[in-house]
Structure 1
Amino acid sequence: MNAADPAAVRKSRIFLVLVALVFAAPMIAATLLGWAGWMPGTKGNGEAIVPQRNFVAEQLRVELADGKTYAWRDSSPRFTLVALAGPDCAAHCFETLTGIAKARVMLNRNQSRLRLLYIGAPPADANQRTAMQAYWIFGRDVEGKLATYVPSTPDSISAVLVESNGTALSLYPAGFDVPGLLRDMLKVIK
């Protein structure tokens, strides 16, 4: 029986450890970056709602224009984008609402997976109100549970993206970027 050369064994073991490190290095780097808080490509344009809220569990009641209560859970799984109007919704407010409606259309075949719910006093202009009815469901927050998301700036809109199970995902405060909202919707509505 031949005894193995200790130098050759040591060299083979070092080579094996180096090969293992080559494969383990990306996982170690990703773990360290994750602990540091860096997550590539996961940053949305909206603000995460913390603590997380579920409007079904909270029994958040929105009364629609026809007197019915808005169903957060629909017959088919659909997201809801809730637009919350600040005081005196006028030209800028309407422009943002129109941009949101256009963003919904840009979801193409997935646009039926998003409902648009408008909460607040509709724009004063009758033509704008009529134009909105093609895309928006009008409602009223009965108990004021969404008041923290309503902007205080006149003629402004904030928005909340709500998952099909009633979980509020993101807040888009007044002055948000509509194309950024569209990018976020394209990520989650598939």
Structure 2
Amino acid sequence: MTQTTDRALRTSRLKFLLVVLVFTAPIVAAGLLNLAGWQPTGKGYGQPIAPQRNFGQEHVQVRLAKGQMWPWRDTSPRLTLIALAGPGCAAHCVDTLTKMAAARITLNNNMDRLRLLYVGQPPAEAATDGMENYWQLGTDVDGRLAVYVPSIPDSVTALLVESDGTALTLYPAGFDPSGLRKDLQKVIH
């Protein structure tokens, strides 16, 4: 071999090793971080429901205002956002409900992938505020959702429920509706 051919061969091998290193370095780094116990965490604004519950399997019954029962499994895969109001739902409660409905609207083309269900006594001004335009109104027949109802007057808690009826996330009384909106944009895309 000539010196020029030998030099070109070494340069070619070096380039090949650099390409291999570029593709394997992130995999090796991820493996080392995993072995060290580090796991990435996503910032969610709600609290995971543990132990998980499946409202469909538990036969949690919500009767809608028109008399039919709420179908936990829908004809198409859609999440359900349940609002549960504390005693005396008034101005603050209605404001939170309005922001929750607005969070659905910000999903744009995907807003049909989220159903809004209000469970409990509707606010006094519900009919005049047009609440029925955005929310399905229902009552908890057996009181099985009572554990999530806030005791704080004029407050709301929210539950995000998967399309199969599995409760995913709880947003306790006083939650930030803009955080809920961000979470919805992450899971509904």
Q: TM-score, normalised by structure 1?
A: 0.82
Query: Is the 8 Å Cα contact of residues 126 and 132 (structure 2) preserved in structure 1?
Result: no
Tell me the residue number matched to 1:172. 171
Cα distance in structure 2, aligned partners of 1:124 and 1:46: 28
Query: What CA deviation, in whole Å up to 9, does each residue of 1:30-75 have, x standing for no partner?
Result: 3046x35x424x1211000000111111111101111110001111
Cα distance in structure 2, aligned partners of 1:23 and 1:109: 35
Cα distance in structure 2, aligned partners of 1:108 and 1:181: 16
Distance verdict in 2 for CA 1:178–1:30, change over 3 Å: same
AA at the equivalent of 1:133? E
Structure 2: 5+ residue runs without aligned partners? 1-20
Tell me the residue number matched to 1:78. 78
Q: How does 1:99-138 map to 2 (within 5 A)?
A: 99-125=99-125, 127-128=127-128, 130-138=129-137
Percent identity over paired residues: 54
Cα distance in structure 2, aligned partners of 1:52 and 1:134: 31
AA at the equivalent of 1:188? V
Tell me the residue number matched to 1:39. 40
Cα RMSD (Å): 1.9
Q: How does 1:137-176 map to 2 (within 5 A)?
A: 137-176=136-175
Does structure 1 residue 29 correspond to structure 2 residue 35? no
Tell me the residue number matched to 1:183. 182
AA at the equivalent of 2:50? V
Counting matched residue pairs gives: 168
AA at the equivalent of 1:39? P
Deviation, structure 1 residue 117: 0.1
Structure 1: 5+ residue runs without aligned partners? 1-18
Distance verdict in 2 for CA 1:54–1:127, change over 3 Å: closer
Distance verdict in 2 for CA 1:80–1:22, change over 3 Å: closer
Q: TM-score, normalised by structure 2?
A: 0.82
Cα distance in structure 2, aligned partners of 1:55 and 1:124: 28
Does structure 1 residue 68 correspond to structure 2 residue 68? yes
